[in-house]
Structure 1
Amino acid sequence: MNEIIVLLSIMGYTAAVKFLTREDAELSLFSAVSLVVCLLYAFSLLGALKTGSVIVFGAGMLFLILALILITIRLRKDLFLEHFLTPGIVTFLAVLVLFLFKTRSYTLASWDEFSHWGLMTKDMNQSGALSAPNGAVTFWYYSPGANLFQYFFTVISGFNEHTLYFAQFVLLLAPVMVFFRNFSFKTHTPFVILTIAFFYALIIIFFQTTVSIMVDQLLGVYFGMTLVAYFRDGGRKTKSLLLYVPIVCALTLFKASGVFFAIAILFMISVPFIIKNLRTKSSHISAVIIVLIVSTLITSASWKAHIKHKNSGQIPNLIQSSGQSLMDAVRSPKDADQRSIVNNFFSAIKDNGREVGTFNMKNWIIVFFFLFGIVFILRAGKRASVLWVFSTMTLFFIIYLAGLLKVYLFNLGPYEGKLLASFERYTATYLLSFSLLFYGFACPESTFKFKPEPGGIFSFFKQYKLFIFYLIFSAVFFYRYPILKSFNINAVFAHPDYETKWFRNRIRPQIDFVKSKTPANSSVFIVFLATTGFEHRVISYELVPRRFNMGCWSLGKPYFDGDIWSCNIKTKDWFEQLKSGQYSYVYIATPYDVFWQRYTEAFDNSTKKWSDILFKVNYENTDGKHFLSPVR
């Protein structure tokens, strides 16, 4: 439960932000959480991540103590309620405590949690620094924002995988509290409960679970809720834009595509502001707008500069563009692979079979046009904002889809490209932000009326549009999506880690043996035959900080139909691969008879087949044979 102590530090930042800006507690919370991410990022670039994390934690606790002292001195109960016991803050803390209680025994479960996000945080925890090239983390250049926040919790509470989930959920939940700005428990309790239920339902529909350290749902929530916060507020105070500086900067640090979402936010916020100045014939451009734009650009550029500095002036190929234009590839694909990718992509948008949550992409677009049309009719006072936001969101969605197609064509391999790997997850990110934005325009801003007013059927729809929406949502989504039919507290925190736990428990004796025999800074070539790679990723995660092989974990001829992962190489070629990668050890987790027959000459005569699993690689006095000696 040490996670609660870290949470208190974050509440200290919330109190400080609220005191300095005189804004509501919910937006202050959103900004404070993002500010912590940015501070951790700054310390990490300075090479003082662990020390900086302690400083950030200590400063937050100091702010909390000062806030409590201030309230005590003034002896004002209403001040305490105003700062800490608002509907948003109380809901935030209550849901987090429940989440911590329900997930305290959870462990990592999904592929990307082991191969990317969990691996990065574990490496940070052991090194006290950002991941570096030639280390255990292959994708060390991935944006580290969420990992830094998870690391922040582990510094104080210790490294536990459920702590990673808790930290990620703090990031996920804090923006949603913006829905409850200027609310009171007396008049808005039903709305608070329904909104939390709606949020959970959205996450489950689009991403199947709320228990994850994947950053895609985080991007969708940050993008959508930033726009909700600004446009529901109406931008009434220019200075309040300062609260959005850490929010937008943090968004660029969660994932490379976060820069795209940040640009979309800056565009949607800045253009109306500039147009307003032109209408009033004012040449004055607010310094706050400039600060917002410049700070975002600096944050994004600083990460690219860090990557270049660590990688001899080069940006890894995965995040570079191809010389071929997207339009050329769509109109005249240069080969069969590109033609297949283009056809599959457009089929996924308009046809069934690649549903994102409940509907395919084409039907989702129809749904959102219908919903925003209703909001435009009923929101007489905000029609300009509704029209501007929805039209620009649609424009950026088209650009987002084009960028996604470009990734499949130029950045991923033909296998992943033709499969449209993670298509549902990537598109769900944007659809989630669309959903939150619609809900933000539909829900009440400060009053929640229960008594009918005169005005006929149109007035009835205006007053009860939110309840009508809930009925439609329940009728359509709950019927179409099976998991929501049995919506209960266990479904809310569902986490399929049972098979992964079983595998990790089974492999634990081997892992402990390998760890005891290999230095932490060594490199281990892992062999796990006849698999698509998930088991290899789990073992790699367990062996951190040891460097491991990304490919050729399965050696020999294909073991099953469609096996494209096994490397059918000769013993001498395997030796050259080990030599070029400078691997010190080979760990054979699943030896098969066919493997021993194929690669017998790689092992020296003292090897005991089926019992020896760890081998030292000998590069001297060998002609590509008998280069593996058992380690016992």
Structure 2
Amino acid sequence: MKIIKKNILFILLVIVSLFCFLKKDTSFTESVVLHVDSNLIFTTGTSMSQSWAPTGKKINNVSLPYMAASDFSSDITLKIVKDGSSANQKPLVDAAINDVVFHSGETGQLTFNFNTLSLKPGERYVFIFDYAEASNNGKLRIPSSVEYDGCYLNGIATGQGIALQISSVKSSHIFWLYSVFMPILSLSMFFMLIFKRKFEEVVALSLSIIVGVLYIAGLFNHLESGIYTLYVLAFIFCFVSAYIYNCTHTDWRQLLSPGLFVFGIFIIIILIYNNNIYRARWDEYTHWGLAVKDMFYFNSFAKHVNSTVMLPWYPPFITLFQYYMEYSNGLFTEELLYIAFQISILSFLIITVRNVYKSNLKYLLPGLSIILFIPIIFFPDIYNSVYVDPLLAIYAAFILTCYYTEPISVFNFLRIAGGLFALTLTKEMGAPIAGLLVIIFFLDTIYRNKKLFSKTILTSCAFLILVFVFFFSWRIYLAVPAPQPDIENNTELAYEQNSSEEGNIPPTVTASPTTTAGFTLQNISNLFTKKAPEWNYKCIKNFIHAMFSENCYNLGIIAVSVLDVFFLLLLASTLLPRTAFFKNDHNLFSLCFFGVLCGFPYLIFLLLSYLFAFSQTEALMLHSYPRYCGSYVTGIVLAMMMYIFIKLCEAANESDSKKSSLSKNCWIVSLSLFLILSIITPLENFVIRNMDTETPPEYVYGRDEFSSILNSFSARSEKIYIVCNNSTGFSYYIFRNYASPLQTQEGAWSLYSSKEDYLKYQKAYPEHSDSSPTVVTPKEWEKQLSTQYDYVFLLHPNELFSDMYFSIFEDPSTIGDGTFYRVKKLKDDNIQLSYIGKIGIKAYK
């Protein structure tokens, strides 16, 4: 009984594990056709097939709805094969329903049950239905839609899709929670036991290790193996933890802490808050959401054949954690992008309440206000987007907090290393921030020891080496060539170059991809010798002006610039060490002073990025300047506030043990912090989901039907060209995401056959400002489509489009908003665009 009582946590874990495995799967129905508008006649002696690309990874039954058109009986068979498989190859499923009796006018469903079948999401599979031993000639009317495709009768295309109901299998909610958090809790328990730490002190390290395992697997193109490795490690660490626990005098209550309960409560809040959320911002569509979807479909980093990702060189830390959650779910859902993002924030900031104990729970409120309020002051949409810039600040704050709140030990070294790993591999700008944090460590070591060289500086050297290892591991991976498809003529490149020579076309003003290709010694030398383009110098003036006068952040009714924040930090570094609480606190001075000192190299690096990595238009307007500055500035401010709160709680705990009156003063200061933060924080940002959004629901209307129609006939190795005239390109990026895993063209969404046609249209419709037109003749576009694309989707062709390109279409009268076409190859490399179907479109942007 004593052993049972001692191991109650592990016994509960075993019971929970068994229960979760018993409730492992849940089924949901996917319809090949969302809206039935027709029917097909399926007669005895005829073979009927329907292609389909699954979105999930498993199915376990298929239902065929029908209405009998005559009286007869027959066996009905179903075979499921992978598209392109040979006739002699064994089908994946071979099922039958025997002796089915049909009566004229009767409706029903033929349901074929079979063992759960694993499929590759996005691959094209074919469902083949046949009669066997029919009593006489008979007919079934099969519900269908003329807007879909993929249905064949005796190998002849019908131009329709039939309304198959497919039962797909994904993880149940309870099993998803178990599969996501079991490795996190298992690793955390192990670290809690061997290092005698609380949950809130170890969870960030656990998350870093989980992503680290996946990262190593991804470098060798085996992401899925990384998932399996994680679960094996989770069970190993769980058993090792049980052994350590029983070999020591640890009581299970010692493993519990207020931080653990806060973590659990916030997980529930996060799950509820993100129900039915959808992506609503540029970069969520141009990269951050698309990268995870591509990972889910291909189980690989973006550097692979048929990749749908525009920015494959972006580091993958947070996208790997999001992939981990999507994989555990068994179905890609947008909510999980936000859930994973916010759990990452929580895991790295929960360390703030590490000194909150059962005896001083009242400190939870001020501590949580720091965690929740400070990020939203600098990043108003942090809880409504998956932009990673705030993550850089949060990881930086975590690293600085670990460094300044306790000496370097094995445990502290590991979690700082984990933080540097996260920071370096979240975004390209994370590497310079990580390097600057290590410089702060160097400066702090010199400041403490009052000399340039000492043994303790070796620790900082080790951290610097780790940053280089993390950074160059990704760079080396990118440098290794990925296998490329055999394309004889890359007409797209020539086409883009040709279109750029037309001149007098307004440049694109979007969150375009950045690249480090412009960071060369020659370009930097040109800058100092006045050989750089004139706009470079104008950009420098704009940047300096913004540093001093642009009001980037709002502290209640007071707007401040970046340099204002630096000034406030310097003021804090000077005044706070003179107070009773922080008298002679060299850590606080070091954090603030060296943080500001290293902020200036960061601003210089950011300026160079605008000059050499951004387009001229974006550089001159200092695109997203407050957000990019916030990645560093917020990290320093947040670290300072976390440090202050941790030290206040520490002083309060010591005061309580000594029965000193200092505890009351600590609480007053903490409560004051809470009140001040409550006043200056835009609290409405917590409740307005998708606030300040660029994407109201009408802009994504039709996305589900778009994907559904594509899934009825396409495969993930194919390409689709999306046209959207009079557009900023935002709608193109939205539907590009829902076309994935199909590839689409890079840009060039708004087409004109000549510069004159573009100018003529702009003169007729000056209100239709087209920010990114591309000039391509019908012959050039035809050649491009014939060599590279399988389908075309017209999202919003303007009035001139049909006049310019009607010759390419088999039936020009079908040209309209939301229409699909198949690229039909003719003789002599000519093509025609053959109409497939149409979806409803409400608005575009």
Measured against the shorter chain, the TM-score band is 0.7 to 0.9
SS in 1 for 2:471: helix
> Would the aligned equivalents of 2:722 and 2:792 in 1 still touch at CA under 8 Å?
yes
The residue number in structure 2 matching 1:160 is: 333
Contact kept? 2:726, 2:769, Cα under 8 Å: no
- For 2:772, which of 562, 565, 579 is the aligned residue? 565
> What's the TM-score, normalizing by structure 2?
0.66
Q: Secondary structure at the match of 2:598?
A: helix
Distance in 2 between residues matched to 1:74 and 1:53, nearest whole Å: 30
Distance change (3 Å), C-alpha of 1:331 and 1:352:
farther
C-alpha distance in structure 2 between counterparts of 1:331 and 1:86, whole Å: 61
Counterpart among 552, 560, 565 of residue 359 in structure 1: 560
In the alignment, which of 2, 13, 22 is matched to residue 196 of structure 2? 22
Superposition RMSD on alpha carbons, in Å? 3.4
Which residue of 1 is the match for residue 365 of structure 2?
193
Shift of 1:461: 7.6
Question: Residues 64, 497 of structure 1: CA spacing in aligned structure 2 closer, same or farther, 3 A cutoff?
Answer: farther
Change (3 A) 1:168 1:3: farther
CA–CA distance in structure 1, aligned partners of residues 670 and 552 of structure 2: 30
**What's the CA shift for 1:345?**
1.8
CA contact (8 A) 1:24 1:182 kept: no
Amino acid at match of 2:465: V
Aligned to 1:448, what secondary structure does the other structure show? Answer: helix
Letter in 1 for 2:367: T
488, 500, 506: which one pairs with 2:702?
506
Q: Which position in structure 2 is the counterpart of 1:37?
A: 211
Cα distance in 1, alignment partners of residues 281 and 817 from structure 2: 30
Aligned to 1:92: 263
Which SS does the other structure have where 2:723 is aligned? Answer: strand
* Per-residue CA distance 1:484-519 (angstroms, 9 max, x = gap): 2x57x635x666779554433334333322332332
Gaps (5+ residues) in structure 1? Answer: none
Match of 1:574 in 2: 781
Rounded Cα–Cα distance in structure 2 between residues aligned with 1:282 and 1:510: 64
Larger Rg: 2
User: Could you report, residue by residue, the CA deviation over 1:67-86 in whole angstroms, capped at 9, with x for unpaired residues?
Assistant: 45765x5797x632332x21
Maintained 8 Å contact 1:215/1:255: yes
Listed one character per residue, the Cα deviations across residues 433-455 of structure 1 (whole Å, up to 9, x for unaligned) are 12212202322242437999789
Q: Is the 8 A contact 1:14 1:25 kept in 2?
A: yes
| One of 771, 778, 791 as aligned partner of 1:585 | 791
Among 350, 354, 365, the residue aligned to 1:181: 354
* Cα distance between partner residues in 1 of 2:456 and 2:243: 41
* Distance (Å, rounded) in 1 between the aligned partners of 2:649 and 2:751: 61
Matched, 1:596 2:795: no
Residue 107 of structure 1 corresponds to 278
User: What residue in structure 2 maps to residue 345 of structure 1?
Assistant: 543
CA distance in 2, matches of 1:330, 1:88: 53
Report the residue type matching 1:348 in the other structure: A
In structure 2, the CA distance between the partners of 1:222 and 1:161, relative to structure 1 (3 Å rule), is same
Rounded Cα–Cα distance in structure 1 between residues aligned with 2:395 and 2:721: 39
**Corresponding residue of 2:343:** 170
- The verdict on how the C-alpha distance between 1:332 and 1:108 changes in structure 2, with shifts beyond 3 A counting, is same
Which residue is 1:466 aligned to?
A: 670
How many residue pairs get aligned? The number is 611
How much has 1:64 moved relative to structure 2?
Answer: 3.8
1:594 Cα deviation after fit: 1.7
Structure 1 residues 578 and 423: alpha-carbon distance in aligned structure 2, compared to 1, 3 A threshold? farther
Query: 2:202, 2:561 → 1: CA distance?
Result: 37
* Equivalent residue in structure 1 for 2:833, among 625, 628, 632: 628
Instruction: Give 1:524's aligned residue.
Output: 720
How many Å separate the matches in 2 of 1:140 and 1:54? 24
Structure (1 or 2) with the greater helix fraction: 1
- 8 Å CA contact retained: 1:37, 1:145: yes
1:227 and 2:400 matched: yes
1:164/1:213 contact within 8 Å kept = yes
Q: Which moved more, 1:358-367 or 1:96-105?
A: 358-367
Comparing 269-278 with 292-301, greater Cα deviation is found at: 269-278
- Structure 1 position 40, deviation (Å): 1.0
| Cα distance in 2 between the residues matched to 1:419 and 1:167 | 32
Contact 1:586 1:616 survives alignment (8 Å): yes
Per the alignment, do residues 283 and 364 of structure 1 end up closer, same or farther by CA in structure 2, a change over 3 Å counting? closer
- Range that drifts further, 236-245 or 136-145: 236-245
Q: What secondary structure is seen at the aligned counterpart in 1 of 2:741? A: coil
**Structure 2 partner of 1:539:** 735
Give the structure-1-normalised TM-score: 0.86
Distance 1:284 1:215, change over 3 A: closer
Please list the CA deviations of residues 120-155 of structure 1 after superposition, one character each: whole Å capped at 9, or x if unmatched: 100000111111255211111110111111111122
Whether the 8 Å CA contact 2:281–2:695 is kept in 1: the answer is: no
Which residue in the other structure is 2:515 paired with? 318
Q: 1:128 to 1:507 in 2, by over 3 A?
A: closer
Q: Does 1:413 align with 2:651?
A: no
CA positional deviation for 1:261: 1.9
Measure, in 1, the Cα distance between the counterparts of 2:768 and 2:618.
17
- CA change 1:433–1:330 in 2 (3 A) is farther
Q: Name the residue aligned to 1:441.
A: 643
SS of the residue corresponding to residue 125 of structure 1 reads: helix
Contact 1:24/1:181 (8 A) holds in 2 = yes
Question: Once the two structures are aligned, what percentage of the paired residues are identical?
Answer: 20
Moved more, 334-343 or 215-224: 334-343
The answer to whether the 8 A contact 1:612-1:631 is kept is no
Deviation at 1:198, TM superposition (A): 2.9
- Partner in structure 1 of residue 576 of structure 2: 375
Quick check: which one's strand share is greater? 2
Question: Does structure 1 conserve the Cα–Cα contact (< 8 Å) formed by 2:296 and 2:323?
Answer: yes
